């Protein structure tokens, strides 16, 4: 439960930057700590956005990559 709090703060920042952005933890449906293309799509992240945000090209967005993506919408 405690680890939800920083995520919540981050999501507040993200919401300011990108109105439609849900918290990373909410998008991460299988809770593996990374967003698949499918999970990202459920949050309105297009394949094109996903690809540009996937800096290490592992076909997943980790928290840092997600944050970097959201930062582009400031
Ligand atoms: Ca996941
Ligand atoms: Ca990645």
Q: What is the DSSP letter of 56?
A: T
Going from the Cα of 56 to the center of ligand 2, the distance in angstroms, rounded, reads: 5
The bound ligand whose nearest atom lies closest to the alpha carbon of 61 is: 2
Residue 56 burial (C-beta neighbours within 10 Å; 0-12, 13-18, 19+): exposed
* pLDDT value for 22: 83
Percent of the chain with pLDDT over 90: 64
Going from the Cα of 24 to the center of ligand 1, the distance in angstroms, rounded, reads: 9
The bound ligand whose nearest atom lies closest to the alpha carbon of 29 is: 1
The CATH number of the domain covering residues in 4-71? 1.10.238.10
* pLDDT value for 2: 62
Contact criterion met (CB below 8 Å) for 10 and 66: no
Mean pLDDT of the chain: 85
pLDDT per residue as tens digits for the range 18-44 = 555 789 999 999 999 999 999 999 999
Q: Which of 7, 31, 48 is nearest to 69 (CA)?
A: 48
The bound ligand whose nearest atom lies closest to the alpha carbon of 57 is: 2
């Amino acid at each position: 439960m405690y680890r939800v709090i920083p995520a919540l703060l981050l999501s507040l920042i993200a919401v300011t930057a990108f109105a439609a952005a849900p918290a990373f933890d909410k998008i991460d449906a299988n809770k593996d700590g990374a967003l698949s293309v499918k999970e990202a799509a459920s949050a309105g992240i297009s394949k094109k956005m996903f690809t540009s945000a996937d800096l290490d090209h592992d076909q997943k967005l980790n928290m840092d990559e997600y944050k970097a993506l959201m930062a582009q919408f400031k």
